[in-house]
Amino acid sequence: MGDKLVRFSITIPKELLEYIDKNLINKGYSSRSEFIRDLVRETIVNDRWSEGKDEVVGVLTVIYDHHKRELTQKMIDLQHSKYINIICTTHVHLDHHNCLETIIISGKPSEIESISVKISGLKGVKFAKLTKTSKLEI
């Protein structure tokens, strides 16, 4: 966390400010400043993913068919790839047919995207979404 806060003023159209106040402050943001800080942090995360140099973290959420027995083994085999680090996985049996799994992966963006596409493309995977994030020092 940055230890020094600075104050500055910005100029934006009145309607944008009204939008911020109406749609974000009312939804739980404690202040306009907190909203702007989070917007900038989101940009930092996006930049890290697009630049591709730094290690980042991805959370892959997958819904798959519980009855596709070989699928579980294929997913595990992919996770044992030497290029990536699986931090943890959580498996939830949603119902008789559906399994939900979250796989938290660290590594280079291209490596995380690559394994995510491979897992998403396995037969029996019905839904997959990669959430991109990273460490934030500020």
Write down the least CB distance from residue 112 to Ni ion, Å.
Answer: 23
Indicate the residue type of 135. Answer: K
Q: Positive or negative CA dihedral for 89, 114, 48, 28?
A: negative
Name which of 52, 41, 54 is nearest 1 in CA terms. Answer: 41
Give the nearer residue to Ni ion in terms of CB position, either 75 or 84.
75
Give the nearer residue to Ni ion in terms of CB position, either 99 or 125.
99
Residue count at the site for Ni ion (CB under 5 A)?
A: 3
Write down the least CB distance from residue 125 to Ni ion, Å.
Answer: 13
Q: Which one of residues 56, 75, 99, 105 is an interface residue with Ni ion (CB under 5 A)?
A: 99
Question: What's the Cα-to-Cα distance from 80 to each of 16, 63, 86, rounded to whole Å?
Answer: 47, 20, 8
Q: Which one of residues 19, 46, 67, 93 is an interface residue with Ni ion (CB under 5 A)?
A: 93
